[in-house]
A and B are shown apart, each in its own frame.
Chain A
Amino acid sequence: MYGKGLRALSIATVAVIAIALALVFFWAPLEADQGFLQKIFYVHVPLAIVALCGFVAGGIFAIQHLRTRDARWDMRSYVAIHMSLIFGVATLITGSIWAKGSWGHWWEWNEPTLVSFLIVFLLYATYQPLRFAIEDPERQARYASVFAVTAGAFVPLNFIAVRLSSAYLHPRVLGATSNLPWQMSLTFLVSLLGIALLFVTFCKYELTAKHTRAQLRALRRLADRRAGTASVAPARRGRSAAPSLHATAMTAHPREGRGAR
């Protein structure tokens, strides 16, 4: 179910990232102020945008989970937030490298964009411990969804608050005040597409792996039942932060099949 189209998606991701790298290093002009250092922009900003969008997507999937009580939406929300955290780490590292090269410091506490991203990242860093702290899978999924919706709403609010703040130290690259040459804009958009595809591909890989694992577990239970070695109560899995996909949840409802992918 989740593995459908994975090969084409992987090929598209590799192709777009390869094109983006070629454009970044051999086509996009050097920026007058920062020179070659500005090339970090093509990896840092797309990573940040995709990570923040992933957090918001996690919130949207969580709303779907709260509405339908379908475990698959909880799984999607979990995977989106999990991947966004990984992309968030990459954003912070690349941002620090850029700051060091540009400002001479690894971190600048007076810079609202940097600090606000760190706040969002730290907020989401509590998501996994929250899940892990709740043993009952049903409650874990519900509480995690409420967290994802609340935190997901905080992301755009935080973004707007930073934009409205007076200190414009961080370079603004998107919006009405943007004065990027078209070659830089195009390179940036291709890079953004490449990173977004990478995010979607990773999410799909993760979902496919988790789904396959759940199917294998269900197969083992069936084999146990047939062999007469299964206990009467369903086997309890160890405590985990990851959502559990039950065998019943693995079979898509015909009504939900359209939006399940």
Chain B
Amino acid sequence: MSAALLAELPALPLHEAGKYVAAAYIVLFALVLIYVAIMAIRLSHLERDLGELLAREQVSADEQSPGAERESTLV
């Protein structure tokens, strides 16, 4: 279906100017991609920090009431 749709679309005049136009739009695409990658790294740091905090809280909760059953079942 996608092949049929592509066949219906008008052909792009990708001659001499095509490489410049492609380069300009790749810059925009790269900008978005780099930003998403940076946000993914930040999110993984946040997840790690939150995990550490949760583990610490769990240890201190265990120390305060050693017999009590763990409430959190987060993996």
Contact of B28 among A34, A36, A43 (CB under 8 A): A43
> Chain B residues with Cβ under 8 A from A223's Cβ?
53, 56-57, 60
Complex CA distance for A25 and B12, rounded to whole angstroms: 7
B33 at the interface (CB under 8 A from A): no
A172 at the interface (CB under 8 A from B): no
> Chain A residues with Cβ under 8 A from B43's Cβ?
209
> Chain A residues with Cβ under 8 A from B57's Cβ?
223
> Chain B residues with Cβ under 8 A from A213's Cβ?
42, 46
B39 at the interface (CB under 8 A from A): yes
B10 at the interface (CB under 8 A from A): yes
User: Does B9 lie within 8 Å of A86, measured CB to CB?
Assistant: no
B4 at the interface (CB under 8 A from A): no
User: Does A100 lie within 8 Å of B20, measured CB to CB?
Assistant: yes
> Chain A residues with Cβ under 8 A from B9's Cβ?
26
A225 at the interface (CB under 8 A from B): no
A40 at the interface (CB under 8 A from B): yes
Residue pairs across A and B with Cβ atoms less than 8 A apart, 23 shown, are A26-B9, A30-B13, A36-B21, A37-B17, A39-B21, A39-B24, A43-B24, A43-B25, A44-B24, A47-B28, A90-B28, A93-B24, A93-B27, A94-B24, A94-B28, A97-B24, A101-B20, A205-B39, A209-B39, A209-B46, A216-B50, A223-B57, A227-B60
> Chain A residues with Cβ under 8 A from B17's Cβ?
34-37, 101
A124 at the interface (CB under 8 A from B): no
Complex CA distance for A213 and B28, rounded to whole angstroms: 28
User: Does A219 lie within 8 Å of B12, measured CB to CB?
Assistant: no
> Chain B residues with Cβ under 8 A from A227's Cβ?
56, 60
What number of residue pairs across chains A and B have CB atoms under 8 A from each other? 75
A155 at the interface (CB under 8 A from B): no
> Chain A residues with Cβ under 8 A from B28's Cβ?
43, 47, 90, 94
Complex CA distance for A176 and B5, rounded to whole angstroms: 40
Complex CA distance for A25 and B17, rounded to whole angstroms: 13
> Chain A residues with Cβ under 8 A from B70's Cβ?
none
A180 to chain B, nearest CB (A): 18
Interface size counted on chain B using CB atoms at 8 A? 28
> Residues on B close to A: CB < 8 A?
9-10, 12-15, 17-18, 20-21, 23-25, 27-28, 31-32, 35, 39, 42-43, 46, 49-50, 53, 56-57, 60
User: Does B13 lie within 8 Å of A36, measured CB to CB?
Assistant: yes
What residue of chain A has the Cβ atom nearest to residue B63's Cβ? A227
9 A-B pairs besides A40-B20, A223-B57 with CB distance below 8 A are A36-B21, A40-B21, A86-B31, A86-B35, A93-B27, A205-B35, A205-B39, A209-B39, A216-B49
